[in-house]
């Protein structure tokens, strides 16, 4: 695969910025438009850029965990957050509010929708990573197997190698069989 310098440099600049934007969407989502799904899709766009620039190996180097582990962890987190209110006698996905005073950040308000959004973010991220994993990195090997086209021929029978018969011809005679 031929690498382009401008694409590599652009991805090095844009990839971290896109991931930060996806985290902004994730954390701002329970009070503003955004959330886990939008944040996960934004992170998926960054991963797509990484795939275009470096292929599957670049995507695999970006994350230490396997895609199905990320997806499974996100699904487990989202389902757990959805079910916990049932154990306390509330409705599914009913949320609670938490207020904390942090030394550097000051007063921080969070709801239980945030862990649910984190779970959704991880599910979307895992699905995107699984899609790129399914593309595989054996494209170069597949291209080596493909034979080059024969030069154009003036007659259909000339397109085949010497001694090779076209598939539609059948030789009949003694001994039977093609």
Q: Are 71 and 126 in contact (CB under 8 A)?
A: yes
d(CA 157, CA 99): 80
Q: What is the pLDDT of residues 40-60, one digit of tens each?
A: 999 999 999 988 888 888 888
The residues spanned by each domain of the chain are: 5-135
Instruction: In whole angstroms, give the CA distance from residue 116 to residue 24.
Output: 15
- Spatial distance between the Cα atoms of 121 and 114, rounded to a whole number of angstroms: 10
| Amino acid 163: pLDDT | 58
Q: Which positions of the chain have pLDDT values less than 50? A: 143, 176
pTM for this predicted structure: 0.70
Alpha-carbon torsion (67, 73, 78, 83), positive or negative: positive
Q: Is-contact 116 36, C-beta < 8 A?
A: yes
């Amino acid at each position: 695969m031929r690498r382009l310098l401008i694409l590599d440099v652009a991805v090095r600049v844009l990839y971290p910025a896109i991931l930060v934007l996806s985290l902004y969407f994730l954390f701002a989502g329970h009070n503003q438009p955004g959330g886990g799904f939008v944040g996960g899709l934004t992170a998926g766009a960054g991963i797509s850029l990484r795939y275009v620039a470096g292929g599957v190996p670049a995507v695999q180097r970006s994350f230490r965990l396997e895609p199905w582990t990320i997806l499974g962890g996100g699904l487990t987190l989202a389902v757990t957050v959805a079910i916990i209110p049932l154990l306390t006698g509330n409705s599914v996905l009913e949320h609670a509010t938490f207020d904390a005073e942090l030394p550097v950040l000051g007063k921080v308000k969070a709801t239980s929708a945030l862990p649910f959004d984190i779970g959704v973010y991880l599910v979307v991220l895992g699905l995107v990573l699984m899609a790129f994993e399914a593309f595989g990195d054996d494209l170069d090997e597949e291209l080596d197997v493909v034979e080059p086209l024969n030069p154009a021929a003036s007659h259909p029978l000339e397109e085949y190698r010497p001694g090779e018969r076209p598939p539609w011809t059948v030789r009949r005679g003694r001994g039977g069989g093609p």
